[in-house]
Chains A and B, each alone.
Chain A
Amino acid sequence: MNTETQKVMGRLIDNLTPVKRLPSPSLRAAAWLALGIPYVALVVLVMSPRSNLAAKLSDAHFMIEQIAALITGLTAAVAAFATIIPGYDRRIAWLPFAPLAVWLASLGEGCLQILKADGFRNFASDWFCLPAIVLVGTVPAIAMAVMLRRGAPLTPKITTALGGLAAAGLGNFGLRLFHPQDSSLMVLVWQMGSVLLLTLLCGMAGRLLLRWRLMNSNDKAA
């Protein structure tokens, strides 16, 4: 056997310390959500909930979109945590696309109705959405980044894009609880556009954020 490889093996054995096994992706996603939801609730309280929130909670369209946004965030988190476990089926990365499709379909249907009735007459800029989603998604995004760095960076760009989608999905869920913007066209362009932009940016940062750490921060039992 090559002596260099033997030396490396010897060092690995000498440096062996107990490690705490990572929980399953679903459990980690649940833990992430358990951390993110109270923060989102806090931001909604600080920004003060929209005045018609009680009425909106009985609006089927609003509820479908909110539930779809939340499930998109949750499934994106499960998929992100699965992509850092070697040996997991990579098709799991498609998991958030089903709720995302429901979310988009619901918004799209609303858009069509608006376009048929008024065209683009009521379309305006709403630059508040992007920073607001960033604000609501910041803590979940940081938590996500910290949790992702404990795994194997097998597909860094896909993993961080999924992590970004999870945080932005949760951010948009929170935003709609205090931002009284319900026009599907506006929501689709400004809110969904912000979510997709943030997902793209997070994906581009993948290789910066997730790298092989050749030794050994995982050696510590964490």
Chain B
Amino acid sequence: MTQQANNPTLERLMQAAQTGDARAYECLLSDITPRLRRMIQSQRRFLGPDEIEDILQDVLISMHSVRATYDPQRPFMPWLLAITRNRLADGGRQWARRAANEVLVDEVPVTFADDRTNSEQERQFDSEDLRTAMRDLPHRQRDAVEMLKLREMSLKEAAAESGMSVGSLKVAVHRGIAALRKALVKDQ
């Protein structure tokens, strides 16, 4: 009984997390993260540590996004493992696609040798112009550019902070950069 009270089960922790109990959720995540990491490592031996962590983060975020589907009457681990297996399969597909399309090069050519071709890239923009152009962006694009380009957050982190999906973030940052470029070039 005392042990039960001191070590609440994963089922109880998840049940509490569903009601918004952040401490219970922290305990739950601390408990399951090393287990998930070991499981992913054992099933994806060919991946590097960063890729393992990427999948682990995917699993944690996916679990978070569907936590309403957990029924406390049912055991927690099969629920979590079903999500993990699914994300592992998705991760495997992505890895295979990347491996098939990736081209390895020794040195990426950054720019052209001819000075005239570099004039556009090397033009100095006034920082006040940039601030104004950023202010004029729609808020989703501004948030995406700030998080991904200025604060150098990963897509997953930015998705976690903003509540936007990774796809929406990619679109927003692409449009944001295009709008900034247009605004700054127009001002020259």
Q: Which of A115-168 contact B (CB under 8 A)?
A: 150-152, 154
A16 and B70 in contact, given A8-B57, A154-B82 (Cβ under 8 angstroms): no
Other than the given A8-B160, A11-B161, A12-B64, 19 more pairs (CB < 8 A) read A1-B34, A2-B49, A4-B154, A13-B26, A16-B21, A16-B64, A19-B67, A86-B69, A86-B86, A87-B78, A152-B82, A154-B82, A212-B90, A214-B165, A215-B160, A215-B163, A218-B65, A218-B66, A219-B163
Q: Which of A4, A151, A215 has the most CB of B within 10 A?
A: A215
Contact B78 A19 (CB under 8 A): no
Binds A, one of B12-20, B114-122, B135-143, B176-184: B12-20
Contact A18 B60 (CB under 8 A): no
Contact A12 B62 (CB under 8 A): no
A5 and B53 in contact, given A24-B71, A214-B166 (Cβ under 8 angstroms): yes
A11: which B residues are within 8 A, CB to CB? 157, 160-161
Contact A17 B20 (CB under 8 A): yes
Q: Pull 18 A–B residue pairs with CB atoms less than 8 Å apart, ordered by A.
A: A2-B49, A2-B56, A4-B57, A4-B157, A5-B33, A5-B56, A8-B57, A9-B33, A9-B60, A11-B160, A15-B64, A85-B69, A86-B82, A87-B75, A213-B165, A214-B65, A214-B159, A216-B64
Contact A151 B159 (CB under 8 A): no
Contact B60 A12 (CB under 8 A): yes
- Residues of B that sit less than 8 Å from A by CB: 17-22, 25-26, 29-30, 33-34, 49, 53, 56-58, 60-62, 64-72, 74-75, 78-83, 86-87, 90, 154, 156-157, 159-166
B17: which A residues are within 8 A, CB to CB? 16
Contact B70 A8 (CB under 8 A): no
A16 and B69 in contact, given A5-B53, A11-B161, A87-B79 (Cβ under 8 angstroms): no
CA distance A49 to B39 in the complex (A): 59
CA distance A9 to B60 in the complex (A): 8
A13 and B86 in contact, given A7-B157, A214-B159, A215-B163 (Cβ under 8 angstroms): no
Instruction: Looking at the assembled complex, report how far the CB atom of A95 sits from the nearest CB atom of chain B, in whole angstroms.
Output: 18
Number of interface residues of A (CB under 8 A): 39
B30: which A residues are within 8 A, CB to CB? 9
- Whether a CB of chain B sits under 8 angstroms from the CB of A91 is no
B90: which A residues are within 8 A, CB to CB? 212
- Whether a CB of chain B sits under 8 angstroms from the CB of A68 is no
Contact A86 B66 (CB under 8 A): yes
A2: which B residues are within 8 A, CB to CB? 49, 53, 56
B160: which A residues are within 8 A, CB to CB? 8, 11-12, 15, 214-215
CA distance A105 to B60 in the complex (A): 46
Instruction: Looking at the assembled complex, report how far the CB atom of A146 sits from the nearest CB atom of chain B, in whole angstroms.
Output: 14
Which of A7, A16, A21, A216 touches B71 (beta carbons < 8 Å)? Answer: A21
Instruction: Looking at the assembled complex, report how far the CB atom of A173 sits from the nearest CB atom of chain B, in whole angstroms.
Output: 29
B60: which A residues are within 8 A, CB to CB? 5, 8-9, 12
Which of A16, A152, A154 touches B20 (beta carbons < 8 Å)? Answer: A16
